[in-house]
Structure 1
């Protein structure tokens, strides 16, 4: 039977309805069953040695038998957690920690990178994506053990007062309040591959994305996120000054928050639309170096908004319409074909896509400025705002504007009761 070793952040499909989960090393296994909000529905969603069974999950002798299709209604993912068998021990003293998942003829393994003071560790998560189930390697550690991790995912641990008192230096207890927002938004990421400063910015910005979504009543919203960059000849100065690099870095947290795979499909808009390498969190520095240090030329040097829109739609047509798509389209102005662009937007109304255009160039944005006023559409599928000086806009305001209309479009596009509206 072939074995697929996973790296942190990597995912793989689960071909069989049943999954067998085993851990190695002197650790105990815990499973948390989560809704689309990233939280448990109650204490019954925590499967561990004192509560070894839940719908679709059964823990016996350190092995978890998981049947994702039989999980409780509303369950969207299962987080698989390890903790040292010996109370008070850290992972730095526990060698050989790893996890193996077997699904039909597929076996996937994950061995986390070197660990230290952590006393709980998210090894992997099993999650639903476009109607199918997949596994993703995570490797995220917690210094305050299962109690801190459980609080982050909404498990009631009020009757466990001993854990904070046992911390000799108080450092773990004081660090706990900073963690809650992170796991919901960063379980899937591969952030450990980022430079420290970039990782800190990403986490702070993800929290602000979460705040913006909460303001819109959309804290549990899941979506596919696509980025489009204007690479027409007039953008050369913006690329040279790093404006597009900073813009992409600031929209990456939106994908980290909304997309189950924490990635963006990326397109260039020039004389034609061109799809380039997908952008994942852990690859952010390399992607920026490849595509934003200077203006990319593979799409040509003039504007063809219609071609880019059609190229994005062609890709989305190959994906499940049950997952809404948010397109973040950066444009420096000077729309070449107003009528063609309007026609493309109107033709895109039936697709499960919302187009958020962002102006960067202090120029005339033509039809883009009039998108919200287009009549004769069954649903308003577009938004526009100009950022002219993106560096002058605080992160919180940026995410409020990027996400200001998208949740409303999801509510208008999808009927009540549709899975896409579960978090909205």
Structure 2
């Protein structure tokens, strides 16, 4: 386009009398840039994804294989020989023993280097079990896997399950000198113990377990039964997400910030913010000793409102999210919100890390001042997790992961076009994905907060 524009030497209407070629070219470049629509960068993965059905197999084009699972599951990988059994406990890769020669388990991802497997290995079987103890796969949504190896990208979602407590997702196997992957989807109702015995893993017989203690959440007894049950299940999923990050014991203060600028009125009317707050309450229930959140409303100014305690959830939602609150004004002022939260945190113990869950509908008012406020907040014991709601431009918030020059990365961001379309397990994985890393980077070795984050 610019090559074509260079042939014109007449002044552009409205731009003044640009007489020389260089000045005119600068004008035309600005006009051309304004006319070029924004294009997203090409995705860093192949566009074609092969969707596998149970029993279907594919050749693996590379020695490196990556299998990533979705859903609230724990993974176990078994390295098997020609007999279809393990050689010993070292061939079992799971949470407490995350690696074996050629295989490594990190959270919900299994990475296999086929050429580095132990001598005699001919199969690697990937098994899932519900991450929340006592559940069956009939109570776990969104279970599936993505497989990547060289140019191959494939996915597999097993069929509906009911009473199964263990599920073989897939297997990598050697056939006629070449490695393949097969989708399986076979379930076991007797759990990992029975499945492990099938593959030659010694499992000590255990006495019948005592009844599980009631999972009490402070104040939950005051909730309606359905809301109480949902909160408990979601709290368990938050715990699973933290465990995946090696931070199952992490304790923290949780603060919520809600955008109440004028553009959010429609989302408040549709209940988007009501459902968003319902879904972050379990984060506080899982990490805060008092199971409560301090809450702020961000508009032209920032207003601290009533703390959100579990037992008060229905009343709090009716007061603050049934419609857009008007007490903070109708425009955005992100730096003021950051300052208000920091002023509160300064009155609290710095030994307790703070996670701020900041909901924003886009349209940052002042990118420069917001960036400066984020940089100035680096010394504070606060991690800022920004969550975009809607489809607006998020300005500096969307560039936080590339913000260089900070002693520690104190921010995270992700956008949700439709928060209702995101399963609970995925949402909590994203909400707490970066926080444990920040805790480990911010606090010195031996500090209780860092220890609770798995460092």
- Determine if the TM-score, normalized by the shorter chain, exceeds 0.5: yes
Deviations 1:155-175 (A, max 9, x none): xxx9997xx8xxxxxxxx7xx
Moved runs in structure 1, 4+ residues, more than 4 A?
158-161
Aligned to 2:57: none
Once the two structures are TM-superposed, the CA of residue 422 in structure 1 deviates from its matched residue by 2.6
SS at 2:255's partner residue? strand
Of 434, 438, 441, 1:412 maps to 441
Quote the Cα distance in structure 2 between the aligned partners of 1:234 and 1:223. Answer: 32
What is the distance in 1 between the residues matched to 2:417 and 2:368?
A: 24
| SS class of match (2:241) | helix
Give the unaligned 5+ runs of structure 1: 1-157, 165-172
2:311 corresponds to which residue? 282
Counterpart of 1:256 (choices 285, 298, 301) is 285
Deviation at 1:227, TM superposition (A): 0.1
User: Which residue of the partner structure matches residue 332 of structure 2?
Assistant: 303
Alignment-derived partner of residue 217 in structure 1: 246
Which of 342, 346, 352 is the matching residue for 1:313?
342
Shift of 1:383: 0.1
Matched, 1:376 2:412: no
Matched, 1:335 2:364: yes
Q: 1:303 to 1:193 in 2, by over 3 A?
A: same
- Deviation string for 1:24-52 (max 9, x for gaps)? xxxxxxxxxxxxxxxxxxxxxxxxxxxxx
Report the alpha carbon displacement of residue 421 of structure 1 after superposing the two structures with TM. Answer: 1.7
In structure 2, list runs of 5 or more residues that go unmatched: 1-204
> Larger radius of gyration, structure 1 or 2?
2
How many residues align? The count is: 249
Query: For residues 421 and 219 of structure 1, what CA distance do their matches in structure 2 show?
Result: 12
Residues 101-127 of structure 1, C-alpha deviation per residue, up to 9 Å, x if partnerless? xxxxxxxxxxxxxxxxxxxxxxxxxxx
Q: Deviations over 1:84-138 (max 9, x none)?
A: xxxxxxxxxxxxxxxxxxxxxxxxxxxxxxxxxxxxxxxxxxxxxxxxxxxxxxx
CA positional deviation for 1:276: 0.3
C-alpha separation in 2, matches of 1:422 and 1:405:
16
Q: Report how far residue 372 of structure 1 moved.
A: 1.0
Matches within 5 A, 1:82-93: none
| 1:233 aligned partner | 262
Q: Which residue of 1 aligns with 2:381?
A: 352
Q: Distance in 1 between matches of 2:347 and 2:221?
A: 31
The equivalent of 1:269 in structure 2 is 298
Q: Secondary structure at the match of 1:228?
A: strand
Q: Of 386, 399, 419, which aligns to 2:428?
A: 399
2:54 aligned residue = none
Deviation at 1:361, TM superposition (A): 1.7
Asked whether 1:244 is paired with 2:234, we answer no
Structure 1 distance, partners of 2:345, 2:306, is: 16
- Paired with 1:416 and 1:299, the residues of 2 have a C-alpha distance of 41
- Corresponding position: 1:386 with 2:415: yes
| Aligned equivalents of 1:198, 1:350: Cα separation in 2 | 38
Name the structure 2 match of 1:291. Answer: 320
Shift of 1:323: 0.1
Query: CA separation in 2, counterparts of 1:392 and 1:288?
Result: 21
Residue deviations 1:216-251 (CA, integer Å, cap 9, x gap): 000000000000000000000000000000000000
